[in-house]
Amino acid sequence: MLRKLYDGVFNLARHRHATPALALVSFAESSFFPIPPDVMLAPMILAKPEKAYFYAAVCTVASVLGGILGYAIGFYLTDVGLAIMRFLGHSDGLAQFRAWFEQWGLWVILIKGLTPIPYKLVTIASGLAAFSFPIFIAASVVTRGGRFFLEAWILKTWGPAMLAQVEKRLALWAGMGVVALVALIVVLKLL
């Protein structure tokens, strides 16, 4: 089922209404949809490199707006938010999500928003934890924008060859980024 959904989203990238579809997928992925917008973003950029940053901006704005929906699901519809989290394999419950944000706060959003971890986990957990909404929005803009604009730059600059290398080693790069970020946090706390 997921493969059919993935293929359907990929095919939307070639449709004449691809840009609104990209916005819709980006919005939905931030709160409930299982397929990331990168499935559409990459082929759209490769087809029209001159629109790379426009597509990244569409993804960013729609993703942050979808993140607001995810936050609202967690904040206002706690039972629904917890059910979605359980469905996604995170059944630790409300207490665990609140503990994450009490201990790490902004870093939860910054680390998870840049990695391949589904962003909907961050948005719903932020609402469940009643995390600061303005900080949530700012961090979402930074992380989602950073991710989509970096992808646009890579694809526009080096094209498909570089994307294949990045995807092949995505877990390694994400892991190295998280280690560097944690090291920075530790150094800042020691100072």
pLDDT tens, position by position, 147-158 = 899 989 988 988
CA distance 149 to 143: 10
Residue in 119, 122, 75 with CA at minimum distance from that of residue 100: 122
Write down the domain spans for the chain: 2-190
51's enclosing H/E stretch is none
Provide Rg for the chain, Cα atoms: 17
Model pTM score:
0.76
Q: pLDDT tens per residue, the chain (191 residues)?
A: 556 766 666 677 777 888 998 999 999 998 888 778 888 898 888 888 899 999 999 999 999 999 999 999 999 998 998 888 888 777 666 677 777 777 777 777 776 666 656 788 889 988 988 889 999 999 899 889 988 999 899 889 887 676 566 556 655 655 665 566 566 556 656 65
Position 85 scores a pLDDT of 81
What lies within 8 Å, CB to CB, of 25 at 6+ separation is 9, 12, 33, 35, 37, 39, 40
Position 32 scores a pLDDT of 80
Position 69 scores a pLDDT of 96
**Helix extents (H) in 13-132:** 18-29, 38-47, 52-76, 78-87, 94-104, 106-114, 119-128
131: left (phi over 0), alpha (psi -120 to 50) or beta: beta
Position 14 scores a pLDDT of 73
